[in-house]
Structure 1
Amino acid sequence: METLTSSWRGYAAAVWALAYGGLGVAWALGVPGFPWGGSDPDPDGALSVLSGTTPRFGWWIAAFALLTMVTALALTRRGGRAPLFVAWPIAALLVLVIPDSRLMMGVAYTPLLLVAPAFGWSLGGATFADAWPWPVLNQLLCVLGGLLLAAAALAYGRGRSHWFTPARGRTAAYVAAVVPLVYCLTRWAWALGIPLGVSREFLAEGEGGLWLAGAYLATFGALGGVLTLGLAQPWGEIFPRWIPGLRGRRVPPLLAVVPAGFVSIIITVAGLTYIRWTVAGRFALDEWGAWLPECFWPIWGAALATATVSYRLRRRGAPYAASSPRTLL
């Protein structure tokens, strides 16, 4: 039963690879929808790692998908470690390298687009189609494939790694809560008219409401940092007393693991994008506030991922203990 339960992840990753490989062949044969290069209408897509490709690149996508499918199927069978050395680089490529910062922006602005009509906000006419164009939705598809392969690799190598200890998870949670505060301070300062890390000329460019949007994102980052602490605190396992109807109940592990895991991906991706932009010379040194805090986001993402995995392993392995007054905040 355990083998069957573990195998479905590999088969799911193989099905994804087969489907995505089919897309690659279709694009190479001239079917519209190639999501990179000149087919990407968003100027922010210019610094994607695949921005210089053409639809003919679809043949390489098909070959990559074939390798992914073979690797995924190998992970459904026990014996040997060779598939892991191939699976993890493929998963990292799909989850962290191919996407760019627009994935985070889509996630960040979706709640704002949902509540904007209730308050009469126009948001410059922005719509969900602007936040989630096909090139960004394609990034979600790539992340899905990478996560399926990573899940298969984790199931295949279960029990071989003892890196994610509770102590390391606690340390990682604190790091993940602190790192985003530098970004938050700059964006809150800009919203208040304080040119922290930028010139006054730069600050004047966002007086039409841009820095308020930045403060909105910063507030989400700070709140996320507070919630991250729950991965290492009792209230992350038992609902605290100030939540009506749930106080004292067990927190479903996936309620914390799924959002924390996804956020760790998108902030890492966004941080790597800013690092690429920095290397490409897009930013000026005297405007460090506009780019330097984001360059630390991969640390934030890695710490959050470590805290999340440690939390999941701890919740899966430890028996549930009844709540006591000390565990309820």
Structure 2
Amino acid sequence: MSGSGSRTAAARTAMDTVWSSVTWACWRHWPTWTGYAAGAFSLLYGALGLYWTAGGDGFPFAPVDPARASGSILEGSRAEVVAPIIAVLGLIGAVVAWVMTRRARPGRLPTALVVFGWAAAVGLTLVVPDYTLIVLVAFAPLLVAFAFLGVPGEQGGIGDILYWHRTNLIIVFLGGLLWAAATLAYQRRVRGACAHCGRRHGGGHGPTRQTLLRWGRWAVLVACLAPLPYEVTRIAWYLGFPLGVSDDFLRMVQGTPGMLEVGLGCAVASAVGGVLTHGLVARWGEVYPRWMWFRAGRRVPPALAVVPASIVALTIIPAGLMLLWTTEARGTWALWVPSLFWPVWGVGLGVATIAYHRRRRGVCHHCGEGHPAVTRAAAPAPRA
């Protein structure tokens, strides 16, 4: 038995090593493969557009029961109108992505390709999706538990939460991320810069650390103030104050099991996120503080802050923009006005994250440009 356990542990270790190697290889060569991936996404989605144009089932924006509808700007559209546009744009995108994978030279054509690429990235990540992405991020642990333990209540399973209209928006969002990465890499190659870091040999090092820190502080201030209306109204409802809503609406919310608790949880999570956002400009965002005795004084990996902050910034913007065309969600001001500040929140958090990343990045491993990363001096760790 001990020999079998040892072989199993060795197999798991080998699998973990292979998975880490594959993940690192994908991350290391992202400027190369993202162009092909964006082209493949566009080609497949364009083919689906042709299928829907021909009358195929499964058009993800068709009018459905309100319980299974999304808040996308395309929700409720007719397949005979939108599906041909999807087909044309998808096939054009496949050609554009293929051209982007070729040798890049300055000129009018590369400029047009970059404009198309960024338009596709913005449209797919920020305009077409709705609040699905931020809900997926906020309730990811619950969704994982539901997948194994079942969904409580009257819902039949995880499919009643991630139905096709929502799942399609997740796919569209991921396609937009591929287009953003492919366009960024191509744009850097056109400029003659490193596709990984964007630096050019002899082109200077950009804004100083002090300048980036100043920009980051203003951006963090915006990111912390923007969600305050949402947090204040939801906490007030939980405490029994009908702030911005009628008494009848508050009684309806109080009579719906779990609704007040969900609102309070989102408000608290937003406030905690504001505290974590401050770490993008604070010393403890670069060096672990004393109270984390097991890591005190050590350098905080930049990805530990950049990755989650980027995800929240990208997913909170479409959730706010959705309210501009979803008039059904508009009632009294407290139901929709606080969400209109979410795009401002996402932009502020995005700018703060970029400033943090540029302040923390060191020498590029591919082109050798840049200075070694500078970390603020850490306080001495307490003795055990």
TM-score norm. by structure 2 comes to 0.74
Partner deviation per Cα, 1:251-288 (whole Å, 9 max, x = no partner): 232222222112112211111112223xx37524xx21
Unpaired runs of at least 5, structure 2: 1-27, 189-197, 363-370
Quote the residue 1:308 is aligned against.
353
Greater mean alpha carbon deviation, residues 27-36 or residues 263-272: 27-36
Distance in 2 of aligned mates of 1:213 and 1:165: 37
Quote the residue 1:78 is aligned against.
104
Unpaired runs of at least 5, structure 1: none
**CA contact 1:238–1:328 (8 Å) conserved in 2:** no
Distance in 2 of aligned mates of 1:200 and 1:316: 52
Quote the residue 1:50 is aligned against.
74
Q: How many residues align?
A: 322
Q: Percent identity?
A: 39
Distance in 2 of aligned mates of 1:269 and 1:127: 26
Matched, 1:243 2:292: yes
Matched, 1:264 2:313: yes
Distance in 1 of aligned mates of 2:165 and 2:243: 34
**CA contact 2:52–2:58 (8 Å) conserved in 1:** yes
Quote the residue 1:181 is aligned against.
228
Partner deviation per Cα, 1:100-144 (whole Å, 9 max, x = no partner): 123323333333455689xx9946658533332222121111111
3-state DSSP of counterpart to 2:159: helix
Residue 195 of structure 1 deviates from its aligned partner by 0.9
TM-score norm. by structure 1 comes to 0.85
Distance in 2 of aligned mates of 1:86 and 1:46: 26
Residue 63 of structure 1 deviates from its aligned partner by 1.1
Q: 1:190 to 1:123 in 2, by over 3 A?
A: farther
Q: 1:123 to 1:109 in 2, by over 3 A?
A: farther
Quote the residue 2:242 is aligned against.
195
Residue 162 of structure 1 deviates from its aligned partner by 6.1
Q: 1:294 to 1:322 in 2, by over 3 A?
A: closer
Larger radius of gyration: 2
Matched, 1:18 2:43: yes
Partner deviation per Cα, 1:289-313 (whole Å, 9 max, x = no partner): 1111111111001111111222222
Matched, 1:212 2:257: no
Distance in 2 of aligned mates of 1:82 and 1:95: 20
Distance in 1 of aligned mates of 2:30 and 2:322: 36
Q: 1 or 2, which has the higher helix percentage?
A: 1
Distance in 1 of aligned mates of 2:269 and 2:127: 24
Quote the residue 1:319 is aligned against.
372
Determine which of 327, 330, 343 is the counterpart of 1:298.
Answer: 343
Distance in 2 of aligned mates of 1:109 and 1:212: 14
Residue 29 of structure 1 deviates from its aligned partner by 3.5
Quote the residue 1:145 is aligned against.
175
**CA contact 1:109–1:131 (8 Å) conserved in 2:** no
